Structure 1
């Protein structure tokens, strides 16, 4: 059991916290145009998806499956706006400072800002829609302990589920991280996503069953993920620019500058593979719980 032998927090309480985070983030998006608003909602929705996946055996299967699909759909809508903010603030703005008279860059920035305005208006309308209200209403059903299967009342079964899922997530991450030095950008994204899922499961486990071992594992895992932030951002910028390029003429100066920005962003990632491998070895050397 846990270090302090404290009974587990019921999953319903954890879901209530997650739903409150989503509500707060929705209000943030409605009143604020900053990158942080979309990012906060993205993180909250990611936590909801992680919770639904972790606690799937303890929930009505039809309810869980449908809600998970809707959470993925909404996450994709939010992430698109978040990544456009990232493209503008972290890539286009520095480039415009360096090349203030570049007409193609000015045209590209105008295109990105117009897309941000469009996506922001659409997301705000979406968040006020009946579909999203229905998603959140179904989510709120899980904040009632009686909605869950009886096994959710058992600390032993809950802890067993958390530990089993932790081991599964670690196994998946190990497969992705077998050849870190040779990972291309797509494989690196898969590795990072597997680490993120592992982290989310560990965080929920730590919330219910406080453990010094899990706390230490999470601390080390956070260091590893932070070392991959630049690679994650480069991937997001590439995806958004490639999407925008579909509306650009072949051979145009704007298309050329977009391609050059992708190359520059990915070249600037500068992953230290030796450090990454060192952090990964230090992470997997620690016990999960």
Structure 2
């Protein structure tokens, strides 16, 4: 049995052509071309797929090989899969010849007495390049072809960067040299998972890519702080990378929104884990995240203003459609600027640097024994200490909530947002019956401050020199009406913010 560690990226035609050209220039030798025709088998009820096992026979040039893959996991974009292969003369299955005994037993137990049959097949033309770096040796497999199932076919172009020897950071080092232009699109699905989706009548390759929300994190109280930090940072990378693609390749407003959330979560994670992980590399990643969030924020703020604040008022005045038309132009310009930023080399470098930081334990400081202790500390202790610090910062401002003005209100809003992200990172450590009431009260207070932020953002856009619609009297009249409406909404929210703060302050703190 062998362990396969690789980074997968989806490609469009332009990206494929760029990659071929760059790879030919940087590889240590001429590429190797192979046709790969694979047939994936399973029982009628997909017993293997339900156990996350893939069984295939594949014709590699002139020979057939049987392979079983299982145990797939992700860390910072890298997938890790256990696989066991053996010859398969004439493409015939031979389960008793699976070399790895535990894997063979797992397959036989899953299949039982049921018959195996083809479910789908893949037909790929692979171009393999090899790269050597100080950290290790990496193979780039550029696969172009299609997946076929039940009379349907889905085209697929995918780059697989597999670690052949050395440290996993070598994968990111090679990737950074190959993908200076973007946007890159990480692939979290195997060919097997795509094939099963197609066989079930679903989509093998989503186009455009959907937005990615923050998924739940499952941490154990006795997990080390370092392991928890790895999991949190990996989750941040997944959300950021997914939404870089979504924001760049789709017009949906949710892409920039989730991208900004992912970047903010990363910066919060950097602050939470800074006592254990802090150093120049973490600081540089947090700074890069802040700059990218600003670009995403410019597009997101215009989307919110147009779709959530102005569009609902469209029937109130003839000037609103004209204001929306002016905002449409500003939104298009902001999205164009964001796409240019997402395609720029610094964005690709940021993603690969973050991945390398996580898998390579880039936070380690030699001979720093205090750091060793901090990294080994149970995450339950680190979480309680970090979230308590977040709460105290918010509470210091909240104690003066009746007299807060302008910038101080904004500071409290940001403190509450960081508090919520921090709590969400560690929520699996605490009883749900204590967590839910606290988060419900926190969300209610954040909604109050959201109304204040909506007013501030609307004013910043619509009162700025050269604001959208400023040269159109009807649009300007509508803008004034909208600003007045937002002001009234903000005042209504502020009227009960003190009660909502008191409710939050009285809630039992789940980390205590």
TM range (shorter): 0.7 to 0.9
Structure 1 position 140 matched with structure 2 position 347: no
Residue 116 of structure 1, CA deviation: 0.7
Structure 1 position 127 matched with structure 2 position 348: no
1:178 corresponds to: 399
1:20 corresponds to: 238
Call closer, same or farther: CA 1:269–1:151 in 2, change over 3 Å.
same
RMSD: 2.9
Cα shift readout 1:188-237 (whole Å, capped 9, x = no counterpart):
32221111111112222324x34444554334322322343322222222
Contact 2:240 2:259 in 1 (8 A): yes
1:279 corresponds to: 500
Aligned residues: 282
Helix, strand or coil at the partner of 2:509: coil
Question: Which of 421, 443, 449 matches 1:222?
Answer: 443
Helix, strand or coil at the partner of 2:463: helix
TM-score by length of 1: 0.84
Flag the structure with higher strand content: 2
Structure 1 position 85 matched with structure 2 position 328: no
Call closer, same or farther: CA 1:251–1:83 in 2, change over 3 Å.
closer
Residue 98 of structure 1, CA deviation: 1.4
2:149 corresponds to: none
Aligned counterparts, 1:188-203, within 5 A: 188-203=409-424
Structure 1 position 73 matched with structure 2 position 291: yes
Contact 1:10 1:153 in 2 (8 A): no
| Greater C-alpha radius of gyration | 2
Structure 1 position 7 matched with structure 2 position 223: yes
| Aligned mates of 1:39, 1:28 — CA distance in 2 | 10
| Aligned mates of 2:408, 2:234 — CA distance in 1 | 34
Aligned counterparts, 1:99-178, within 5 A: 99-100=317-318, 102=319, 105-144=320-359, 146-149=361-364, 150-151=372-373, 153-156=375-378, 158-178=379-399
Contact 1:54 1:165 in 2 (8 A): yes
| Aligned mates of 1:170, 1:106 — CA distance in 2 | 44
Residue 288 of structure 1, CA deviation: 4.3
Helix, strand or coil at the partner of 2:490: coil
Flag the structure with higher helix content: 1
Residue 39 of structure 1, CA deviation: 0.9
Contact 1:223 1:279 in 2 (8 A): yes
Residue 153 of structure 1, CA deviation: 4.1
1:40 corresponds to: 258
Residue 62 of structure 1, CA deviation: 0.7
Call closer, same or farther: CA 1:167–1:186 in 2, change over 3 Å.
same
Contact 1:81 1:116 in 2 (8 A): yes
Residue 248 of structure 1, CA deviation: 7.6
Residue 141 of structure 1, CA deviation: 2.2
Aligned counterparts, 1:202-241, within 5 A: 202-207=423-428, 209-212=429-432, 213-214=434-435, 216-241=437-462
Call closer, same or farther: CA 1:258–1:223 in 2, change over 3 Å.
closer
Higher relative contact order (CA 8 A, sep 6+): 1
| Aligned mates of 1:244, 1:43 — CA distance in 2 | 28
Structure 1: runs of 5 or more not aligned? none
Cα shift readout 1:126-149 (whole Å, capped 9, x = no counterpart):
111101111111211232263344
